[in-house]
Amino acid sequence: MRLRRTRLYIPGNNPHYVESAGLYGADAVILDLEDSVPLDQKFDARILVKYSLQNVDMGRSEKWVRINGVDTPFWEKDLKEVLPFCDVINLPKVESAADLNRVDDVMGAIEEEHGIEKRPVVPIIETIRGLMRAEEIAAHPRVVALAWGGEDLTADLGIPRGKALILDHVRGHIVLAAKAHGKQALDTVYSNVSDMEGLFEYARRARYMGFDGIGVIHPNQVEVVHRAFRPTDEEIEEARRIVQAAEEAEREGKAVVSLNGRMIDRPVVERARKILRYAEVE
């Protein structure tokens, strides 16, 4: 599975920002057609995103587009314009598998028409209803990762975002729903772009909460988050030993992996492998 430690949001209707989107080494770049684009610019924006996807060198970054939600009149046109040229569709305000099915149908028709591979979807859960249906959303075959957003959620609950105590519970819920279906879990953004230490702590915390990455709103944040998602030297050392033991067991045809007299379960080996992947990417 692709690393998605960082996903960098770029306002889709600003050529100046789009041009340099690929320079920052983010695992993914999200050209946004939703919140950062005013209603009277939606038409221009989706065409600009179409051209940008084909002309801007995004380096090693995965190309996402955040289209408008199914509760708007824009999402179908967004898909028709950009789908053939992007890697992932980021879908906001998803509340159910039914929402995803609607989008799946339109995507399927476009993919068939163009003879292209199926693109995955990363839904953003932003409401209580969506949160309660997180599992069915995560289970959908199109979905590769679950993301979430706190603004609407806390508004729904009637509490100020900055003081909301419930958000770690929300995070946990998202992680568990995603992992129950073998999908990635992606945390939301850290909005203070001048506080790099706070960002590092936040990203570390996200990692230990079980997330595979966080959203990023400024290029300066990318390197800090990558550092935070890098396993510690101790974790890497232990992971190496575990993977070595597993490979040895496999070579010797043993059914059970053991290390220092302890039995190592399969999930532990998988975790060790994942740790090494995160360590080796640099």
Partner 1 sequence: MPVNAVGRDVPSEINGVRMKPFAGVGKTPPEGRRAGSLIRMQPSGRSKLVDTIEEVIRKVGLEDGMTVSFHHHLRNGDYVANMVMKTIQKMGFRNIRIAPSAFFPVHKEIVPMLRDGTVRRIEGSMNGPLGEATSYGEMKETAVLRSHSGRVRAIECGEIHIDVAFIAAPTADQYGNLNGVDGPSACGPLAYAMADAQYADHVVAITDHLVPYPAHPISIFQHQVDYVVNVDKIGDPSGIVSGTLRITTSPTRLKIARYATEIIEKVALRDGFSFQAGAGGVSLAVTKFLGELMEKKGIRASFINGGVTKYVVEMLHKGLVDVVFDGQAFDLEAIKSLKEDPNHIETPLAMYGNPHSSGGVVNMIDVGVLGATEVDIDFNVNVNTHSDGLLLHGIGGHQEVAAGTALTLITVPLYRYRVPVVRESVTTVTTPGEVVDVVVTEYGAAVNPRREDILEALRGSGVPLWDIEDLMKKAYSICGKPAEPRTTDEIVAAIQWRDGTLLDVVYRVKRD
Partner 2 sequence: MMAEAGKREKGDVYVRIEDAEGREIVVSSKLMILYGDAIRRTVEEMTSHLNNVRVVVEDFGALDFVIRARLEAALRKYGGEGE
Q: Which residues bind partner 2 (CB under 8 A)?
A: 13-16, 19, 40-44, 47-48, 50-52, 54-56
Task: Choose the one of partner 1, partner 2, none that binds residue 44, judging by a C-beta under 5 to 8 angstroms depending on kind.
Answer: partner 2
User: Which residue(s) pair with 280 in the sheet?
Assistant: none
Give 13 or 90: the residue with its C-beta nearer to partner 2: 13
> Least CB distance from residue 15 to partner 2, whole Å?
4
> Least CB distance from residue 14 to partner 1, whole Å?
13
Asked if 71 and 93 touch (Cβ cutoff 8 Å), the reply is: yes
> Least CB distance from residue 39 to partner 2, whole Å?
9
Asked if 135 and 178 touch (Cβ cutoff 8 Å), the reply is: no
Give 53 or 259: the residue with its C-beta nearer to partner 1: 53
Task: Choose the one of partner 2, partner 1, none that binds residue 258, judging by a C-beta under 5 to 8 angstroms depending on kind.
Answer: none
Task: Choose the one of partner 2, partner 1, none that binds residue 20, judging by a C-beta under 5 to 8 angstroms depending on kind.
Answer: partner 1
Give 40 or 280: the residue with its C-beta nearer to partner 2: 40
Site residues, partner 1 (CB under 8 A):
19-20, 23-24, 218-220
Those residues whose C-beta lies under 8 Å from the C-beta of residue 237, and which sit 6 or more positions away, are none
Dmax (CA) for the chain in angstroms is: 66
> Least CB distance from residue 90 to partner 2, whole Å?
21
Task: Choose the one of partner 1, partner 2, none that binds residue 280, judging by a C-beta under 5 to 8 angstroms depending on kind.
Answer: none
Per the structure block, which two tokens stand in for 250? 């496999």
Task: Choose the one of partner 2, partner 1, none that binds residue 50, judging by a C-beta under 5 to 8 angstroms depending on kind.
Answer: partner 2
Give 56 or 94: the residue with its C-beta nearer to partner 2: 56
Report the phi/psi class of residue 146: left, alpha or beta, with left for phi > 0 and alpha for psi in -120 to 50: beta
Give CA angle at 132 (131, 137), nearest 5°. Answer: 70
Give the N- to C-terminal CA distance of the chain in Å, as an integer: 16
Asked if 258 and 245 touch (Cβ cutoff 8 Å), the reply is: yes
Give 77 or 241: the residue with its C-beta nearer to partner 2: 77
Half-sphere exposure of 102 (CA within 13 A, CB side): 13
Task: Choose the one of partner 1, partner 2, none that binds residue 43, judging by a C-beta under 5 to 8 angstroms depending on kind.
Answer: partner 2
Give 55 or 232: the residue with its C-beta nearer to partner 2: 55
Q: Which of 273, 269, 271 is nearest to 210 (CA)?
A: 271
Sign of CA dihedral 133, 134, 139, 143: positive
Those residues whose C-beta lies under 8 Å from the C-beta of residue 97, and which sit 6 or more positions away, are 133, 136, 137, 139, 140
Half-sphere exposure of 69 (CA within 13 A, CB side): 13
Give 6 or 52: the residue with its C-beta nearer to partner 2: 52
Task: Choose the one of partner 1, partner 2, none that binds residue 23, judging by a C-beta under 5 to 8 angstroms depending on kind.
Answer: partner 1
> Least CB distance from residue 9 to partner 1, whole Å?
13
